Structure 1
Amino acid sequence: MHCDVYKFPKHDDMYVYIARPDYPDDTDEIKDWLSVLPKDFRASLGVSKFVIHLDLETTPKLARVDKEEVLSKLKSQGYFVQMPPQDVMRRQAELRALEAQNNIYD
C-alpha cells in the first residue's frame, strides 16, 4: 500500500496519511488527495504541506505509530491521522492558554 503524508502548520507534530492504492497508475490527472477527509475536519486543518510518499509494504516500521494500524485505517477509510505525543499536546495547550491569558487585556 502506497500513501502520501501531509503536515499542517496550524497543528505541530500532526500528520495525515492518505491512501494511494492505485499508485503509480493514479497520477495521470491532478487529484485532490485530501478530499477523502471529512469536510469539517479538513477545513480545521488549514493549508497542507506534502511531506513524503511511502510504500508501506517496503517500510519496516514507522517512527511514532503502529504500521499495522496505519494500514488498517488506510484500507478502511482512506486516511490515517497521526496525533502528536501527549506531552507535545499538553505543552501546546499550555502555550495557548498562556497566550489567551496575556491577551485578555489587549
Structure 2
Amino acid sequence: MHCDIYKFPKHPDMYVYIARPDYPDDTDEIKDWLSVLPKDFRAGLGTSKFVMHLDLSNTKKLARVDKEEVLAKLQEKGYFVQMPPADVMRRQAEIRAKEAQDNKYD
C-alpha cells in the first residue's frame, strides 16, 4: 500500500496519511488527495504541507505508530491520523490555556 503523508503547521507533530492504492497509475491527473478527510476535520487543519510518499509494503515499521493499524485505517477510511504523543499534546494544551488566560487580561 502506498500513501502520502502531510503535516499541518497549526498542529505540530500531527501527521495525516492518505491512501494511494492505485499508485503510480493515479498520477495522470491532479487530485485533491485530502478530500477523503471529513469536511469539518479538514477545515480545522489549516494549510497542508506534503512531507513524503511512502510504500508501506517496503517499510518494516513506523516510528510512532503501529504499521498494521495504519494499513487497516488506510484500507477502511482512506486515511490515518497520527496524533502527537500524549506528553506533547499535554504541553500544547498547557500553552494554549496559558495564552488564553493571558489574553483574557490584556
| TM superposition score category, shorter chain reference | over 0.9
What SS does the corresponding residue of 1:42 show, helix, strand or coil? helix
Q: Which amino acid is 2:12 matched to? A: D
Shift of 1:102: 1.0
Which residue number in structure 1 is paired with residue 101 of structure 2?
A: 101
Q: Within 5 Å, which residues of 2 pair with 1:48-67?
A: 48-67=48-67
Distance 2:44 2:104 in 1: 24
Sequence identity percentage: 84
Counterpart-to-counterpart distance in 1, 2:40 and 2:100: 24
SS in 2 for 1:57: helix
Question: Residue 24 in 1 paired to residue 24 in 2?
Answer: yes
CA drift at 1:105: 1.7
Any gaps of 5 or more consecutive residues in structure 2? none
Summarize the alignment of residues 1-106 of structure 1 with structure 2, pairs less than 5 Å apart: 1-106=1-106
User: Deviation at 1:26?
Assistant: 0.2
Q: How far 1:101 sits from its partner (Å)?
A: 1.0
TM-score of the superposed pair, with normalisation by structure 1? 0.99
Please give the secondary structure, in 2, of the residue aligned with 1:103. Answer: helix
Q: Which has the higher helix share?
A: 2
Residue correspondences, number: 106
1:62-94, Cα deviation, whole Å (9 max, x unpaired): 000000000000001000000000000000000
Q: TM-score, normalised by structure 2?
A: 0.99
Amino acid at match of 2:73: K
Q: For 2:75, what is the secondary structure of its paired residue?
A: helix
Moved more, 55-64 or 96-105: 96-105
Give the aligned residue type for 2:40: D
